[in-house]
Amino acid sequence: MARKIPSPVVTVEAEAFWNAARQGRFMLPVCAACGRAHWYPRAICPFCASDEITWRAASGKATIHTFSVMRRVKEPYAIAYVTLAEGPTMLTNIVDCDFDKLAVGQAVAVVFAATENGPPVPMFKPV
């Protein structure tokens, strides 16, 4: 039986992200003024304070920054920070893998996981 994933809370700043996720597309907020991507979505760029935020399709490629495997539950899972190829770090889960073989620095790619009744959430699996 698969672990049930609660629906994400969709904020105004992240609406574009979740709408794209519903179509299986992984988008990141990118600042039009300084050109840097950031995560989580927000109205003001965390690097230069510009409010010119645009959305761009992201590669979905990342590396594991750090992770922890939760084993004392019925359906063990791996929680992790991954560093996206575009720069930002994202809190996520690592799925479809042998938890004993996970390693910091490992290459992973985005997969969307269905939630109980909201948009799918981005998770990552080893490539």
Is residue 45 a contact residue for Zn ion (CB under 5 A)? yes
Residue 110 and residue 95: Cα distance in Å, rounded?
10
Residue 110 touches Zn ion, criterion: CB under 5 A: no
Number of residues that bind Zn ion (CB under 5 A): 7
By CB under 5 A, residue 81 contacts Zn ion: no
47, 77, 99, 112: which one binds Zn ion (CB under 5 A): 47
Cβ(121)–Cβ(13) below 8 Å: no
Q: Which is nearer to Zn ion, 40 or 69 (CB)?
A: 40
Burial class (CB in 10 A: 0-12, 13-18, 19+), 13: middle
Q: What share of the chain is helix, strand, coil (3-state, %, to 5)?
A: 10, 40, 55
User: Quick one: which segment of 11-19, 47-55, 87-95, 98-106 binds Zn ion (CB under 5 A)?
Assistant: 47-55
* Structure token digits, residue 105: 């620095």
Interaction site with Zn ion (CB under 5 A): 31, 33-34, 45, 47-48, 50
